Amino acid sequence: MIAILVPLLFSILEFGAALERWLAQDAATVQAAVEDLSRRYPGLRERRGWPQWGEALRRAHAPEAEADLSPTTPARERLAYDEIFASQLAVALVRARRHRQKGRAILGTGALTGRVEAALGFALTSAQRLAIAELTAEMAQPRRMVRLLQGDVGSGKTVVALLAMLNAVEGGGQAALMAPTEILARQHHATLQRHAAAARHRGHGHGRCRG
């Protein structure tokens, strides 16, 4: 017997309210994004065989067969796409608003980052180099930066963060790496101290854990 799945909508409604406020304030940005999406992907729903949103929601929460529980069903694919699209649209609106605010251009010289990279003992991957290039390019702009670096465990996010921090130091600023726990803060401190030694730059660690 297939049961009806009852969702918890509190966080979704809160997100929707926030998104509605952003949409009202940035209507032109949203309209441009939607028009661009329509040009890039005409007839996306029809080509994928996705149902309308309401029908997709009904199928997801009232499945009629075991096959309806598969994440690859058209209804679930449609809902997953909408969720990702809404998330990316919200992030784009926040980024656009922040980019309208003035920031400080940070131009690194490459002196510290070059020494540290040469002493790493391994070659940076193409993805790491791309991430660093995007970070330093945006740091050089006279606007506030809004950027999230994502990657699997062990993909090298820490070394990318370190090189971005050294780029800020080269530009006459300071940098701090925050961690959610004292254990992780100590681990990062040990790693950064070891690599920063190659740049002859002293790093200070302050770990604090609040339960």
The string of pLDDT tens digits covering residues 122-131 is 888 999 999 9
pLDDT band at 150 (very low <50, low <70, confident <90, very high): confident
Per-residue pLDDT, 210: 39
- Work out the percent of the chain whose per-residue pLDDT is above 90: 15
CA distance linking residue 131 with residue 18, whole number of Å:
30
- Could you tell me if 73 and 80 are in contact, meaning their C-beta atoms sit under 8 angstroms apart? no
Per-residue pLDDT, 181: 92
- Could you tell me if 160 and 132 are in contact, meaning their C-beta atoms sit under 8 angstroms apart? yes
For residue 40, the number of C-alpha atoms closer than 13 Å in the C-beta half-sphere is 6
Residue type, 193: Q
Q: Name the pTM for this structure.
A: 0.57
φ, ψ at 166 (rounded to 5°) = -65, -30
- The arithmetic mean of pLDDT across residues 176-202, rounded, is 84
Out of 48-52, 177-181, 195-199, the most confident range is: 177-181
The answer, yes or no, to whether residue 163 has pLDDT greater than 90, is yes
More confident site: 142 or 30: 142
pLDDT band at 140 (very low <50, low <70, confident <90, very high): very high
Q: Kindly report, residue by residue over 8-56, the tens digit of the pLDDT.
A: 444 444 555 555 555 555 556 656 665 666 566 567 778 888 888 788 8
Task: Spell out a b/e string for 118-147, using b for 16 or more CB atoms within 10 Å of the CB, else e.
Answer: eeeeeebeeebeebbeebbebbeeeeebee
pLDDT band at 137 (very low <50, low <70, confident <90, very high): very high
In eight-state DSSP terms, residue 208 is -
